[in-house]
Amino acid sequence: MYYQEFILHILLNHFFVPVFALRFRRSFSCEFYHAIFNSLINSDLCPLARRLKNPTRSNEKITKKNNIMKKVTILLAAVFAVALTGKVTAQANPASDSEVITITANLNTTLALTLDNSGILFEFNTLDDYNNGLGSNGGDYSSNGSVSSTSNWQLGFVATTPFTNEDGTTTMPMDNLGVTVTWNGSNTIDNNADNALALEDQERILIDHNGTNSNAGDDDANSFTIYWEMGTQNGDMNGASLFDQDLKKGAYQVAVEFILTEVL
């Protein structure tokens, strides 16, 4: 019965256990495998069983057969081990497929200037008006504004027409008109118009990005008041009074453009 036990050990451990575990996705008790093997051994249909039941052979024949059975058993074990390894490898590396979707996001700049564009009227009536000018920082002539922006920005102003008399030909120096700016917003900016800046025919920057803190934000963060003055000789405005300039009387008009620009 030694040979029965040896073959039982080999087949149970190298054939029945792994094959049944893979096929049925579960493990079985040792008694289950022994019952199956004993049924096979006791069957007359199995040549191996018939030989195991009648082990009356010579020692030489038994040794020869035993060696053959060992080789067959080892070969079967190797075959099933390779098959099992291939099965496990296939399960560890399943087939796959993939597709790639490209996502694009455009971060566009939005700039919006809100400015009270009601006209400003200076009435020069008295000698004091002509000598000292009208308007000041915090005075009566003002325009409220704000900026809503997704990026840093600056605000400038420029004369787009000459300062022309109603006769259509006479002009006055446009630097008689100047502005100051009071910053009301919560953002940090560079205010270039704390003192009066004279109007020119080239753009001048009133409010600028300070280079450190972002001034992007909504209208509350970027609100301001522009104060107008004329003939006051403040800041870099014309240093002569309107009285001393002896200008032709009548109404003078000039168009002033405010330009909002992104700072890169």
Q: pLDDT tens for residues 63-72?
A: 665 666 666 5
Quick one: pLDDT band at residue 13, thresholds 50, 70, 90? low
Burial of 258 (C-beta count, 10 Å sphere; 0-12/13-18/19+) = middle
One-letter identity of residue 137: N
Residues 122 and 223 in one domain: yes
pLDDT band at 93 (very low <50, low <70, confident <90, very high): confident
Residue 249 lies in a domain: yes
Tell me if 248 is assigned to some domain. yes
Identify the helix (H) or strand (E) that includes residue 85.
Answer: helix 59-92
Please give the mean pLDDT across all residues of the chain. Answer: 83
pLDDT at site 190: 97
Tell me which residue range forms the domain holding 172. Answer: 111-262
The domain boundary, picked from 44, 62, 92, lies at 92
What pLDDT does residue 49 have? 47
Compute the C-alpha angle 50/73/46, nearest 5°: 20
Q: Of 58, 92, 126, which residue sits at a domain end?
A: 92
Task: Quote the percentage of the chain above a pLDDT of 90.
Answer: 64
Instruction: Decide if 226 is inside a domain.
Output: yes
Beta-bridge mates of residue 182: 225
133 and 195 share a domain?
yes
| Candidate from 27-31, 159-163, 178-182 with smallest mean pLDDT | 27-31
Same domain, 199 and 253: yes
pLDDT of residue 44: 52
Which runs of E-coded beta strand occur in 13-152?
111-115, 142-149
